[in-house]
Amino acid sequence: MDMTSGRRGDAGRRQFAPWADPAAQPLVRFERVAKRFSGHVALDDLSLDIFEGEFFALLGPSGCGKTTLLRLLAGFETADSGRVLLDGQDISPVPPYRRPVNMMFQSYALFPHLTVAGNIAFGLKQDGLSKSEISVRVAEMLALVRLEALAARKPHQLSGGQRQRVALARSLAKHPRVLLLDEPLAALDQKLRQDTRFELKELQARLGLTFVIVTHDQEEAMTVADRIGVMDQGRLVQVAPPAEIYEQPLNRWVAGFIGDVNLFEGKVALQDVDGVAVDSAAGRLRAFSTDKVTMGDTVWIAVRPERIRLVPARPGDAAPTGNAIAGRVADIGYLGGVSVYQVALPDGTKVKATLASTTRLTERPIGLDDEVWLNWPADAGRVLVR
Amino acid sequence: MSASSTDSSVTPARSLGQRLVILVPYLWLAAFFLLPFGIVLKISLSETALAQPPYVPLLDLSAGWDGIKAFLGGLSLDRYGLIFSDSLYLSSYLRSLEVATLSTLMLLAIGYPIAYAVTRMPARTQGVLVLLIVLPFWTSFLIRVYAWINILQHDGLLNQALLALGLVSEPIAFLATDKALYIGLVYSYLPFMVLPIYATLVKLDDTLLEAAADLGCRRWQAFWWVTLPLSLPGVAAGVLLCFIPIVGEFVAPDLLGGSVDPMVGQTLWTEFFANKDWPVASAIAVTLLLLLGGPILIYQHLQARNLRVGP
Ligand SMILES: Nc1ncnc2c1ncn2[C@@H]1O[C@H](COP(=O)(O)OP(=O)(O)O)[C@@H](O)[C@H]1O
Ligand SMILES: [Mg+2]
């Protein structure tokens, strides 16, 4: 297989959206799969399509069934009901050792008695490749993960980051149709994890392979994935590209799970071409809505902290579609690049607003206990009906 | 390498208490291993005598320097010369090695599958099974060997069963043959083979087998390429734990085996108790120890390496 065939330029990546094309055939299709472990529901009637060349992230809290879904595709679990299709073929009867799918295990599962090169060659030997083919492929993989110098080491002589790369090389060596990565970066420390995210992304784009990554780290999912499937309790709650998940979360749970969010509960007061007006405890708020709402419905307006502007005085040009509410600064958290302001409203609820730290230091500073106005445009708020 | 030398220079001096604690195991070894071994070695260099104790020379410290000189002059390597020239001794060593090798192979062939099967059971069952494997040790070894005599004798349980099932028409002679010897040895050493192998297999991470399957291995291939190599330290421990004591085994060959080809333990017993030849008996013991020194050192080396590498 030519490792460069799937290479996509930046322009290609921007247009890459096969899920939006109704005629596109998925590479992997989960069709209404369900799985229980002694009565406990791990997967609940779940359907999902993953496309060739896609970097797909399964994101959700611990125990929501992410690993189970991967293991279903790898062949280590069988579904109680539903089908798993690869290239349109039902692969349920195919044993793991014959599936063109490889997995990078959360614990890496490196063979302790084999060297780095031996680990990478393991799967190739099972395929009956010749010695020379194997050594060529192993060298190629070692170069890919920059471990040429450590080929003769045993796993216990490697650092965590090096082990992670051996596991990656081993699972890539057989050129799988789909590479499954179960929390591949969870065991690394913060700094290394951030660097490795970009390497992983770059590697996937370069090889043009289909990656399915499992993670409970939303930042990781946002960084690497073309699309994110947000899971909760064995179900997919929302499947969409990272920006869409962030900007247009489907419900309060997704909004809260992906990043920070302020939620204002209220009743729909009016709906017009400009959006929706909601009467909340903080007053009348305007927001944007894609969902149909009815007058008097209870809804929630979700506003991201970084969309809220903090101003010392009532914004003069408060447009009819803008929002401005008064409060008092209750807490300031300095996080390096940004500062998080907790602003208490008269009714006691707290609203979060993040400001770039440079703003805070150069402009006239807003301090603790200052009376401030929170200001955001209507289209920064999103109406959630669930 | 230079790092280690600087390390040692930084190490703070040990306190007197620490030194004493380190000394304890050495004192133990000196009192209960080196001293008895020294005595046996000394006897092996002596001559038989009709006396109490039945050998000369004796160390007479009251005679001072002359006494010590006389004592040293009386020592000789004659017993070792005898052991290596008389085929009786050589053949009993060879017989011991043969029996130990064969029975260790049988133990491995039976013990490995048992250990493997136990690790495939649910965790709770495993505990019960391991208990069952060591359970026989709660009764005396001698009593269990007598029980085997009962089972294996001419009109014993085994022959009665075989006759009743119509598998044989005549009772088989088990007792006083190699059959009974190997049955007895395999029976009594089985836990020493099973337990170390079980201990390495049970530590084996099941994800490794999934990784092997993921990379294209069928079950038996995963066993061959992953499970087996990773269980070799346990196999080595089991083999040595069985082989070494079986070479010197006395009870099983004496009570269950025949008397035609004595094992070295039996020869030693005869020299010591029947012939009252303490020097030859001691020389046999010293030679046996040197013979087993090799495997023991290998075992120690493997143990030390395991400690360094970890599981
Ligand atoms: N082999 C198993 N036996 C019993 N329960 C299991 C097994 N595997 C997973 N589960 C359960 O199924 C649920 C989903 O697990 P998993 O897919 O590992 O979650 P995640 O990877 O999202 O953390 C969890 O509640 C877990 O306890
Ligand atoms: Mg998991």
Per-residue pLDDT averaged across B176-180, rounded?
91
Q: Is the CB of A64 under 6 A from ligand 1?
A: yes
Strands A81-86 and A89-90: antiparallel
Residues 6+ apart with CB under 8 A from A347: A281, A282
pLDDT value of position B14? 74
Contact B211/A at CB under 8 A: yes
Rounded to a whole number of angstroms, the distance between the first and last alpha carbons of chain B is: 26
Q: Which residue has the tokens 């002679």?
A: B173
Query: With 90 as the cut, is the pLDDT of residue B48 above it?
Result: no
Q: What are the structural domains, with CATH classification, of chain A?
A: 3-100+176-252 (3.40.50.300), 262-384 (2.40.50.100)
ipTM above 0.90, yes or no: no
pLDDT value of position B19? 85
pLDDT value of position B22? 85
Contact A90/B at CB under 8 A: no
Cβ proximity of B153 and B175 under 8 Å: yes
Nearest residue, CB atoms, A76 vs list B210, B221, B311: B210
Q: How far is CA B154 from the centre of its chain?
A: 30
Handedness of CA A325, A329, A335, A339 (dihedral sign): positive
Query: With 60 as the cut, is the pLDDT of residue A361 above it?
Result: no
Contact A74/B at CB under 8 A: yes
pLDDT value of position B11? 56
Q: Name the residue with higher pLDDT: A121 or A348.
A: A121
Show the tokens assigned to B172.
């088989």
pLDDT value of position A58? 95
- Tell me the per-residue pLDDT of A303-313, one tens digit each, with 9 for 90 and over: 888 888 888 77
Cα A63 to middle of ligand 2, angstroms: 7
| Spatial separation of the C-alpha atoms in residues B292 and B283, rounded to whole Å | 14
Contact B204/A at CB under 8 A: no
pLDDT value of position B70? 83
Query: With 80 as the cut, is the pLDDT of residue A100 above it?
Result: yes
- Shortest distance, CA B206 to any CA of chain A (angstroms): 9
Question: B80 pLDDT band (50/70/90 cuts)?
Answer: very high
pLDDT value of position B139? 87
- Tell me the per-residue pLDDT of A214-239, one tens digit each, with 9 for 90 and over: 998 888 999 899 999 999 999 999 99
| Spatial separation of the C-alpha atoms in residues A134 and A154, rounded to whole Å | 19
- Tell me the per-residue pLDDT of B201-238, one tens digit each, with 9 for 90 and over: 999 999 999 999 999 999 999 999 999 999 999 999 99
User: Which residue among A33, A37, A182, A212 has the greatest number of ligand 1 atoms within 8 angstroms of its CB, and so is best to mutate?
Assistant: A37
Nearest residue, CB atoms, A111 vs list B208, B213, B311: B208
pLDDT value of position A359? 58
Residues 6+ apart with CB under 8 A from A344: A327, A328, A329, A330, A350
Per-residue pLDDT averaged across B277-302, rounded?
87
pLDDT value of position B6? 42
- Tell me the per-residue pLDDT of A13-47, one tens digit each, with 9 for 90 and over: 557 888 888 888 999 999 999 999 998 999 999 99
User: How distant, in Å, are the alpha carbons of A49, A59, A187 from that of A215?
Assistant: 18, 5, 12
Cβ proximity of B146 and B254 under 8 Å: no
pLDDT value of position B310? 47
Residue B86: CB atoms within 10 A of its CB come to 11
pLDDT value of position A7? 45
User: Is the backbone of residue A88 left (phi > 0), alpha (psi -120 to 50) or beta?
Assistant: left
What predicted TM-score, i.e. pTM, was given to this entire model?
Answer: 0.81
Cα A68 to middle of ligand 1, angstroms: 6
Question: A293 pLDDT band (50/70/90 cuts)?
Answer: confident
pLDDT value of position A318? 53
Closest ligand 1 atom to the C-alpha of A231?
Answer: 22
φ, ψ of residue A274 to 5 degrees: the values are: -80, -10
Closest ligand 1 atom to the C-alpha of A77?
Answer: 1
Question: What CATH code would you report for B81-309?
Answer: 1.10.3720.10
- Judged by average pLDDT, the poorest of A30-44, B45-59, B246-260 is B45-59
Closest among B218, B88, B58 to A126, alpha carbons compared:
B218
pLDDT value of position B36? 92
pLDDT value of position B285? 93
pLDDT value of position A5? 41
Please state, for a pLDDT cut of 70, what percent of chain B lies above it. Answer: 94
Per-residue pLDDT averaged across A71-77, rounded?
94
Asked if omega into A320 is within 30° of 0 (cis), the reply is: no
| Spatial separation of the C-alpha atoms in residues B221 and A97, rounded to whole Å | 11
Show the tokens assigned to A308.
């809220």
- Tell me the per-residue pLDDT of B214-223, one tens digit each, with 9 for 90 and over: 999 999 999 9
> Where in chain B are the domains?
81-309
Mean predicted lDDT score pLDDT of chain A = 86
Yes or no, beta carbons of B205 and A174 under 8 Å apart: no
Q: Name the residue with higher pLDDT: A301 or A180.
A: A180
Per-residue pLDDT averaged across B87-106, rounded?
94
Query: With 60 as the cut, is the pLDDT of residue B93 above it?
Result: yes
Question: B199 pLDDT band (50/70/90 cuts)?
Answer: very high
Per-residue pLDDT averaged across A326-348, rounded?
85
- Tell me the per-residue pLDDT of B99-139, one tens digit each, with 9 for 90 and over: 999 999 999 999 999 999 999 999 899 999 999 998 888 88
H-type helices in chain A, by residue range?
A: 10-15, 66-74, 116-126, 131-144, 160-172, 190-207, 218-224, 242-247, 252-257, 357-362
